[in-house]
Structure formats: C-alpha cells, structure tokens
Structure 1
C-alpha cells in the first residue's frame, strides 16, 4: 500500500510538471512521436503485406508440390544454364506417377496459354489465361463454383469441348446473363461453358481464377502441343492428409528419379517446388525490411530520447529548490527518483500514443479512402507502448538519479 501511495504521489507530481510546461512538453515528445510513428508504420505495412502474400501462397496449398522444369527462386547462385537443359514434365511422367504414387490425394497435368482472346457473339475478352488440365485438377487446387458444375470424368477422358470460366470472363462475355450452357470461341474452337468459378479477387502473386478459362487436357491436346516448353507443363501433386509434405516430396523424388532412370550419382533433372520455398524467401525479405524500419525509426527515437533527457535535466535544475524542500520534509531518494522517472516515462508514453494514434488514422484513411486495408494489430500496439516506456526509463533515469542524490541543504539554497 505504501508503494502504491508513493507511486500515485510521484505520478501526480510528474503530471503537474508536464501540465505547467505545455510547450516544452510538446516539443520534447515530438521526436518520440515521429520515431514510434515510423517504426509502427513500417511494421504495420510489412505485416499487412506479409499477410496478403501469405494468403496468396496458401492458395497454392500447404501440401501441394509442383513437378516442374525450373526450381523456384532465381536469386543468388542460380545456374539457369543447367536447368535449361532439363526436360519438361511429360505425360509419361504424369501417367507413371499416377500409377505409383501412394501418398498423393490427387495428381493433375497442366499447361497454361496466356493472353488469349475469347468471344461470344459481339462480345470479346482479351488477355484471358487459358489452362488445360487433367481430370484431377479439382483435387489439386482450391476453388469454388458460383454457377454450374465441374467436368465429368467422361468429358475429361473423351476431350469434350467444355470449359469452366472465371467471374471476370463471365461478366465480360455474358453481362446480366447466365453463363452456363452458352458456347464461346477459344483457340478457334467453340466450347460450352459448364461452370463459373466463384470470384476470388486479384492477389499479390496473381493467383486468381477470375480471368481463367479451364479446358479438359484431352481437348487441348488436339489444338496445341501440350508437352511444349512454351506452355510451361507441370504436374501438380497434392498429398493426403495423413502424410506430411516432406513424406510426399520424398516419395515423388524417388519415383521421378526411377521414371527418368537416373543413376545414383546423377543430379535431379526436375524440380519439386512447394510453398515453403516462397514462404522462406518472404521471411528473408521481410526480415530485411524490419531491420530497415528499426534503423530508420531508431534514429528518430534516439534523437527524441536525447531531447527528453535534456529536458529532464533542465526540469531538475528548475526544481532544485523544491527538491530540497521535499527532502527536508522527509522525502526519500527513491521518491524523488520515481517522481522524475515517471515524468520522463509519461512524456515518452504520450509521444508514443500520439504516434500510434496517427498510424491508426492513417490505416482508416487507407482503408476507407483508397480501399487499401492496413492492419494495426495488438502486437504492434504493445510494441509501440513498450518502446515508449523503455525509452522513457533510459532517457529519464540519469536526470532522476541526479535529482535523488542532491544534498537537501545545498538544494534549498539554490536559486
């Protein structure tokens, strides 16, 4: 109880000192405000960007592996000249994996034809992404349908002229109409729309079905060379829930080496890409951005901390006589120390709260004014408050300690 009483009285003294010197208080907390604003803005922006990217990565599937020619990455030591000699994922690879893989929930062979024009009567869509895939595409990718249905197994096997389209394509070709059951022209052929993908919206990795048209692979093989390098053939494998992605990857590696008859000493001539590769690269990138945010904001906080320390020394000088009187009336050293320390902490805390307030207003402006959602989560709020308190303790301790060590007789005589 005694400690709480001293705490309350020290806080009242500190608050009264801040109230009586409003201009000085305002100027001294500017540095802290700018520093906290900078650090929290960087962290909030990075967290938001990281969250959006991770959402895009999650669309690819945490247990999904892509058998491709090129490994994901391309940074640092990337021997592209070696990868260029690799064969593409082939139908032979796909059929062999489908027969032998025991850890896979689904396998699909896919190709992509970019920037295609789609037509329906007088309406047309340019820049559509045309994808052709085997029947298990619905087992290897996450998607919902807003209208219609997925391909039947018979349609996939026989290569029927049917397709699924994204919501942007449906709105562009069939405004105020139902898309299912209508025929559109793609790759010079007429195909019937049997389903429409639910709207997903554009994400940061460009992973979206809104501008995608999906064809059965056996229909596309009559129009293009589905094993050509220009169409980026890949085999998408999604593992069963009971197996880890490492188990699935291990089995695929052994099977692919066996299918391609590679000797034990030979290097892999295929890539097994997974979302953890992207996540690791994102963590590395954002780690650098976080450090940059700390450095930039740290300079502002350092300047603000020196400013507050200087103000506190001035405050001690101005109140030396009062300190002497307090000590002569029985005030202990720790009471004087806490009084000035709380004043420094209060200054930094007010500056930090103002900085957080400005960041919060900025998130509202970005969200409602520019439709850019920036998240200011509780972690960043706690971080901002904690930094403010720590800077307050560091910058205020020495002035407070100096005040607590003053001789009461000499302090009373000072003017």
Structure 2
C-alpha cells in the first residue's frame, strides 16, 4: 500500500507542478517532447522504409543462393571486369548435377530472365513484361503465389510446352472482361496457353524493380526456343534454397562451391569461375545503411532530450525548494528517506513521461499523412522505446534533487518557511 500511496502522491504533486506554473513546465517539457519525437519519428520512418524496401526486393527470396557470373557486391576484389566476362554461364547439366548431389538444400532450380516483352490477346496488348523460363521445382525454391489455375506439370516442363503463368496486372490488361485461364496469348510470335494467374502483389517502393504483377513464367525449354543463350544471349542462373537449420547458409555455400568446382574441373590453385550470391547480402547492406540512419536519429534527438532533461531537473530543484517545509513535516511524522526519495523520483518520471507521451502522439499523427506507396507504421516496439527513454530521462533528471530532498534535516526544513 505504501508504494501505491507513493505513486498517487507523486502523480498529484506532478499535476500540481504543471498547474502552478503551466508555462514554465510546458517549456521545460518541450525538450523531452522534441527529443522523443525526433528519435521515434526517425525510427518509425526507418522501420517503414526498411520494411517497404524488403517487400520491394522480395523477388530475391529468402535463404536462397544464386550461382551466376557476376557477384552482387564487390568487396576488395582486384579481378578485372573482363575476367568476369570470360566466366561460363550456368548450364542445365550443372543444374541437374547439383539437384542430384546436394544434401544441405531444400530445392534447386534453373531460371532465365528477359524483360521488356510484349504480350497480346486479340486487340489487347501490354508491354514491359518480365518473362522467366523456370525448371520443374522452381516453386520449391521461390514463391509463386498462384490465385487462379496451377503450376507447371513435369510433362509440360520436360516437353518444353508453350504454357504460361502470368501476373495479376498482365491478366487485368489482357483479359479485362474475365478469367484468362485457358486462353491463348502471343509472345514474340509464339502462342502460349495461360494455365495460371498469380495473386496481386501491389506496387513497391521503387519503380523498375521486378514484381509479380508484371511477371510471367514459362517452362525453361520453351524460353530457350524463343531467346538465344550463350555469352551474348540470355544467361541462366542457378537457385538453391537452404534449409532452416543451416544458419547463414554456411554449410550449403561450402557444399555448392565444392560441387561447382568439381563439375567445372577447376584445379585447387584456380579461382572460382562463378559467383555465389546470397539474398542475405542485400539484406545485410540494407540493415547497415539503416543502422547508420538510426544512429543519426539518436544523435539528433539526444541533444533535445539532454535539454529536456535539464528542464525537468530545474523543475525538480524548484519543487524541492518550494516543498522544503512539507518535507520537514513529513519527516517529523516518521517518513523515511526512501519515501521522500521515491516521491520526488516518481514525480520526475511522471513529468518526463508526459513530455514523451506528447512526442509519441505527434509521431502517431505522422502515420496518417499519405506518402504514396510508403506506409508509415508506428510499431509497439517504438512506442515502448519512447516511453522507456522517457523513464530513463526522468530518473536521471530527478535523482539528484530527490537525494537532496531525502537527506534534508527535518528541523531545518520546518524552519525554512
């Protein structure tokens, strides 16, 4: 009960401090409000940006290793660009070898891509569509969210049949009147039968990045009949999905490197003739970028919070001065030092929480501002962070005045009035 009494009295004294000199208190709390607003708004925008970017880059996939000619990120690599050009592209033979021999994977696929295609159906047409030629177990490696229809069968893949799965936006443009499954469309002079339509993905944060809405899949062999391969043609990539129990895909990467060097006949002293790219590479770079931005948010908001902390400390020193006589009476009636200490400490925390709460409220108002494809969301984690920082500032600002008040001599304190 004594702790409940402490909380109640501290809250009452905090409200009295607000009412007794409203302008002074509001100006003092303004620093905490601005500081919490700066920190939490930066974190909220950063989290929203990071989430939107990751969603826009969902085409890369999770726990996937890509075998390609070029690395995605160059880190201290002195190899000249023409050496990368000499590297051979991935082949169907390598795909089958990895599919049969790998042990630390959940699936292997081969895929070729070509953008800027034009699809036609009767009088309707659409340009700028990505076409991908995929192997049978591509849907085990990457997500193919089919809304209507189905994925390819083994007979369709092995027979290189002209069947196609199209994105939601493609279907809306070619078949505005109804379902397009079973219809025949034209692509580069070839006729393809639509067997599936993917779910709507929506616009991403950045234009130009691949999206399933303007994407399409055909059997790998059918793609090869349309577009030439080789050094100057469309070059396929190998995709290997790692297991959940392989953190960082280290075991899979080591195994893939060994298998690829074996099938390509590389000597121990020779460098890899392929690049091993992981989806985590981009995610790590994104995380590093936003961690720097988050640090900048702490620095910007930290100065405002520091000013706000001094403001609250000033209020608490004034409160101790104004209530010195009351402290002496409380001590003469048997109040312990810790009672006086916690009374002022709780008051300081409550004042800081009021300033922090206003700052979080201002951040929540930002979430209602329309920002195009970017959706700003104030997460519970950021709310708790803001309140936690407010509590810490309240404790640090009020600890010295509270200690001074708790160690006042009751006789001297009573005579002070």
TM bracket (short chain): 0.7 to 0.9
- Say if 2:251 is the partner of 1:247: yes
SS in 2 for 1:38: helix
d(CA) in 2 for partners of 1:348 and 1:239? Answer: 48
1:131 CA drift (Å): 1.3
Matches within 5 A, 1:272-291: 272-291=276-295
1:303 CA drift (Å): 1.2
Task: Indicate how the Cα distance of structure 1 residues 335 and 263 shifts in structure 2: closer, same or farther if over 3 A, else same.
Answer: same
d(CA) in 2 for partners of 1:110 and 1:162? Answer: 16
1:151 CA drift (Å): 2.5
SS in 2 for 1:222: helix
Structure 2 partner of 1:116:
117
Indicate which of 383, 386, 392 corresponds to 1:384.
386
Structure 1 partner of 2:361:
357
- Native 8 Å contact 2:112 2:134 kept in 1: yes
d(CA) in 2 for partners of 1:97 and 1:341? Answer: 65
- Say if 2:66 is the partner of 1:66: yes
- Native 8 Å contact 1:200 1:208 kept in 2: yes
Structure 1 partner of 2:396:
394
Task: Indicate how the Cα distance of structure 1 residues 24 and 78 shifts in structure 2: closer, same or farther if over 3 A, else same.
Answer: farther
- Say if 2:64 is the partner of 1:40: no
SS in 2 for 1:231: coil
Structure 2 partner of 1:216:
219
Structure 2 partner of 1:23:
23
1:33 CA drift (Å): 0.9
1:76 CA drift (Å): 6.7
Matches within 5 A, 1:223-234: 223-228=226-231, 231-234=234-237
Q: Normalising by structure 2, what TM-score?
A: 0.87
1:203 CA drift (Å): 3.9
SS in 2 for 1:221: helix
- Native 8 Å contact 1:180 1:195 kept in 2: yes
d(CA) in 2 for partners of 1:251 and 1:76? Answer: 24
1:86 CA drift (Å): 2.6
d(CA) in 1 for partners of 2:79 and 2:369? Answer: 42
Q: CA RMSD in A?
A: 3.0
d(CA) in 1 for partners of 2:62 and 2:26? Answer: 50
Q: Deviations over 1:83-105 (max 9, x none)?
A: 34432223343243344334444
- Native 8 Å contact 2:10 2:346 kept in 1: yes
Task: Indicate how the Cα distance of structure 1 residues 89 and 413 shifts in structure 2: closer, same or farther if over 3 A, else same.
Answer: same
1:185 CA drift (Å): 1.8
- Native 8 Å contact 1:109 1:134 kept in 2: yes
